[in-house]
Amino acid sequence: MSIIIKGLVLQRVDGVCLLGPLDLSLAPGDRLGLVGESGSGKSLVVQALFGVLPPGVVQAGGSVTAFGTRMDVPSPGRDRIRGARLAWVPQDPGQALNPHLTLGEHLALLPGIHRNESREATLARLAPLLDRLRLPPAPAFLNRFPHQISGGQRQRISLAMSLSCEPELLVLDEPTTALDPTVQREFMDLVLELQRERGLGYLWITHDLGVVSAICDRLVVLYGGEVLESGPASRLLSAPRHPYTARLLEAARRRPAAEAGFLPAPQDRPEGCPFQPRCPGVQTTCAAWAPWQGSPEWGVRCERPLQTAQ
């Protein structure tokens, strides 16, 4: 396994638990999806993985390792992995681009740091990739600044930057939320092609179960900072066992109107299962945490799962 997250616990500085304990692993070639609605802790998982937790959030337990190097502990080895072997496509590409740098300068940043490659050499090497991303590799385009191109193009520049050092693993944090459906589809197809060609492994984060069947083999369902269910995507989508997974599926089919209730703030979460206040099958025993049933790769945490295990 190239990424191993073990027993990760994240807290707010006031001691309120935000995430975990979380176990998660990812290997090259893996197509793993992390799903859950807004506020579940998906982006915190990414930040922990890259060792860049925001102020106000501390790691209270567990470990995060990539390619055998701890990512939650500063080291030169960690700096060599970030952006090179393990790359990140952020949630908001506009935010990730610097208004003072041209697109060409953006693309040359990571290869300059990790490979000591000149801008000319990087742009020549990346020309076929830019072509496939339908970004003109010509100076007239590469000399532009981020605000001079469309949102979809900024997204693709951001993806090209993440791929610029030919990473083995990619983390995509809701990369298509800002895109219209056609561009979203193109973006997904391109990442899928690269995955097949290069054996790239990815962790794709989304709150939309409607798209995961096309892009993921394995799913982890996160709610209120807890993993409620995990397993093969085809199984979770056809026979969800946690009522929350079932609710997400309904919402994906019928659009957000089906989503009754909301995720409580971290300090207001109930003891036991975080989904209790919204669960149609809630019972008194849900106030105590049901033990995880199964392996970390395939299991559920529920007092009364919807279907029996295979």
DSSP for 283-308? -GGGGSPPPPEE-SSSEE--SS-SS-
Strands 3-12 and 57-66: antiparallel
Site string for Mg ion, 124-143 (x = CB under 5 A): --------------------
Instruction: Identify which of residues 38 and 234 has a Cβ nearer to ligand ADP in the complex.
Output: 38
**What is the smallest separation between the CB atom of 16 and ligand ADP, expressed in angstroms?**
8
Q: Segment contacting ligand ADP (CB under 6 A): 36-44, 144-152, 273-281, 302-310?
A: 36-44
**119: helix, coil or strand?**
helix
- Contacting Mg ion (CB under 5 A), which of 25, 43, 63, 293? 43
Who contacts 266 (Cβ-Cβ below 8 Å, separation ≥6)?
A: 12, 16, 17, 18, 224, 225
Please spell the DSSP secondary structure of 32-98, one letter per residue. EEEE--TTSSHHHHHHHHTT-PPTTEEEEEEEEEETTEESSS--HHHHHHBTTTEEEE-S-HHHHS-
Task: Name the binder of 266 from Mg ion, ligand ADP, none, CB < 5-8 A by kind.
Answer: ligand ADP
Q: Which CB sits closer to ligand ADP, 49 or 81?
A: 49
Q: If binding means CB under 5 A, how many residues of this protein chain bind Mg ion?
A: 2
Nearer to ligand ADP, 10 or 183 (CB): 10
- When binding is defined by CB under 6 A, the residue of 23, 30, 35, 40 that contacts ligand ADP is 40
Please check whether residue 91 is in contact with residue 174, taking contact to mean a CB–CB distance below 8 angstroms: yes
Q: Is 47 among the residues that bind Mg ion (CB under 5 A)?
A: no
Token pair in block for residue 19: 């995430």
Q: Which one of residues 3, 24, 35, 44 is an interface residue with ligand ADP (CB under 6 A)?
A: 44
Chain residues binding ligand ADP by CB under 6 A are: 12, 18, 36, 38-44, 54-57, 266
Chain residues binding Mg ion by CB under 5 A are: 42-43
